[in-house]
Structures are given as structure tokens and as C-alpha cells.
Amino acid sequence: MTRKMAPVEEQMRVYMAGTDFGDDATRRSMERELRARLEEDRPLRVYCGFDPTKVDLHLGHAVPMRKLRQFQEFGHDVTFLVGNFTALIGDPTGKDATRPILTPAEVAENAKTYTDQAFVILDRAKTKVAYNADWLNALGFADVLRLTGQYTVAQFLRRENFAKRYDEGVPIHVSELLYAMLQAYDAFHMETDVQIGGSDQLFNLMAGRQLQEAQGQRPQVCITLPILVGTDGHEKMSKSLGNYVGLTDPPNEMFGKVMSIPDFAIVNYYTLATPLRPAEVDAIARDLEAGVSRPMEAKKRLAEEITAVFHGRTAAEAARTYFESTFQRRETPEEMPEHAVEGEASLAVVLVAARLAKSNGEVRRLVAQGAVSVNGAPIADAVLPVQPGDEIRVGRHRFLRLVRA
């Protein structure tokens, strides 16, 4: 019979690249099960869930999307699951306290932008979009009781974040215990072959295997990926920590943020956040280790590859030129956004109106950090009068020229 899918070993090299299972035994088990399914020479049902708890996605969210895209490119059936029901609870993974519960209206508003952002990476024509409220809303109380009967409290208390909170006397709400069960039900409902998630999601993914097996289904293969560190190189990428690269960031800002990552994170970013195949990433890593390639050049290519994914190659090349002239050669860019003012105005008022800061308080914080300059000079007064002709720089990547209204 003519093989419909790509060779198994070729697929395995791509799917296993960059994965993180926490221990070798789990890796070997998942690798063995994935190979067995690929040898069946059929499209696998693959999904990853995304809870719309924020309006915008960042590069950390793009990591599992990239893995979904790899499955798409080999001809498998991919589902982008919007967790519009589970987002009402909030995933407790990695949290030291109960996450505030969102309202259905907040979840719906956040969900509107998710798929558009996702389709920058995923093939729209080959992606099924599903919403878990479609089946979780239909569960009755008796259904939920039967679901809880598949798990024990001891299982949940073995989770690191729950164990820590329990030992410290921090409340653990029953709704948080339900989260993993509901995510498991997603896998059961969709009869999933492969579920993708972050390494901090392994417990939830394994709960899906447990439920599938209890219900007579073949347990899914779990593929977990490292958590992408933020631009600081230490903490998990997060909008609240300010160490994120937003998927909707303008090209120059996106390029500049990627350039700010520490050198030790370069290969990790190539592996998790670019479409380059493992062999290409291995060659980059070898060149860096051997000193053939300098970290600055490797990082500029990295920033260009990432920016090209979201804005196209032309915009990425322009962002590289902008970075090299503005930051490497310390030149002020000829082209910069303009903001019209009638005459003198407070710096804080201008930055908020131009959307370079969200509030006067944020302007004060930026000024205190030495992150704001006017006409090349750092300023120490958030209400400094500025006027048409002034050029303002905020941080390393944002500029603003004032013009007369």
C-alpha cells in the first residue's frame, strides 16, 4: 500500500524536538506510543486548548501553536480549542493562589481575538476551531459526579502547587480541582489521539489519559513543551511581568524585544518560537558553541525569523535595519510615529494620549526608571512641558515625534 503520510522517523524528529516531559520514563513512554500511532499511517486527531483569560496572546502561547502547525504540515487533523468554559474557572497550574473568576462576558470578549491571532501561525483552512462550552455546558450534575469519581483528592494534592498551598494553609477551591477533570473531558469528548500543552500542564494531560482509558478509549499521547522564558531570561513569559513579546506587537517593537533576550536563551527561542526545522537549529547551536557565529548575529537572525512569522519578511528586514541603525549605531530613526499637539503639553498627557503608556502612574514609573528621554536627554519630571518638534523616546524601542495640530 502506498504510504499516505510522511515517514514515521521524519515526523518523530520534528514532533519530539524541543519537548519537555519532566522525566525520561514519561518521555520514553510517550515517544513509544506516538510512534505506534504514526505507524498506523493515518491522520491523527491533535489538539491544544487555550483559555481566553486575556485579550492578547504572546510568544509563549505561540509555542504549542507551532507544534500544532508541525502536525498540520504532515497532514494530521488539528483542533484549536478555545476554553471558553474552563476559562470561567481558571487553570490553577503554577498559581500560588486562586485565580479570580472571569465573567462569561469577559471570556467572550477575550475569545474574539484569539483565533485571528492564532491563524498567523496555523493554517486557517486546515484548522478546526472548537469551543469547550459547547459540550461542558451540557453536562448535568450527575455527569459531573460521575466524572469526579474517576479521581482522588490524593492525586491532586500530589501536584506541586496544590501541595505547597495546602502546607501553607492557602485556600484551594473545589472549582480548581474540577479544572483538570473538565480538561480531561475535552480529550474524551473529542476522542483525541494527541494533546499538546506546556510542561506545567502534564498533570492535566495525564488526567485526560486516565478518563479516556476508564471510558474504554485509547489513552491520548501527551506532548509537553518547555515554558518559554520571558525576555528577562528567568521568569515565565507574562504580560503582568512585562517580559513578554506580544503577537500583535508592531514589527520594530517585536524585533527589539527579541534582541533583549540573554544569549543563553537564543537556541531555546530558535527551537520553540521559529519555524526552523531541528537540523537548522542544531547547526545554529553548533556554530554558536564553536564561535563560528557571534551571539549578536544569531540573535538578529532569530528576531528576524520571529518577526517575519507575524508581519512578513519585508517588515522583518525593515525592523532589522531599524534596529541596527537605531540601537547599534545609536542613530535616531528618520521615520517615527507622530502625535499632534496644539502647543505645550504635559509629557504624561502626551504619552497616555499617544498610547505609549496606559496611565499617568505608568508614566511616572517609566520616568523613575530612567526609561524616558526628550530630544536625547533623560528626564526626571513626568509633567515636563513638551511641544511640537520634540522627539520622545520611551524605553529602547519606541519613539514619538510631536507635530503641531
* Reported confidence tier of residue 380, pLDDT bands at 50, 70, 90: confident
| Predicted pLDDT at 399 | 86
Which candidate, 256, 283, 252, 257, places its Cα nearest to that of 270?
Answer: 283
pLDDT digits (tens, 9 = 90+) for 73-124: 999 999 999 998 988 876 665 554 445 667 788 888 888 778 888 898 999 9
pLDDT digits (tens, 9 = 90+) for 337-361: 889 988 888 999 999 999 888 888 8
pLDDT digits (tens, 9 = 90+) for 48-69: 999 887 777 889 889 999 999 9
- Rounded-to-integer distance, Cα 157 and Cα 67, Å: 30
* E strand spans, 91-249: 127-131, 194-198, 221-225
Percent share of the chain, pLDDT over 70: 94
Query: What residue spans in the chain does CATH classification 3.10.290.10 cover?
Result: 338-404
Q: Kindly tell me if the per-residue pLDDT of 306 is higher than 90.
A: yes
pLDDT digits (tens, 9 = 90+) for 194-220: 999 998 889 999 999 999 999 999 999
When the pLDDT of each residue in the chain is averaged and rounded to a whole number, the result is: 87
CATH of 251-328, one of 3.40.50.150, 1.10.240.10, 1.10.3720.10, 3.40.30.10: 1.10.240.10
Whether CATH 3.10.290.10 fits 338-404: yes
Query: What residue spans in the chain does CATH classification 3.40.50.620 cover?
Result: 8-225
CATH superfamily membership of 8-225: HUPs (3.40.50.620)
Strands in 77-82's sheet, in edge-to-edge order, are 127-131, 77-82, 45-50, 194-198, 221-225
Query: What residue spans in the chain does CATH classification 1.10.240.10 cover?
Result: 251-328
| Predicted pLDDT at 115 | 80
Maximal C-alpha separation, the chain: 77
The shares of helix, strand and coil residues in the chain, as percent rounded to the nearest 5, are 50, 15, 35
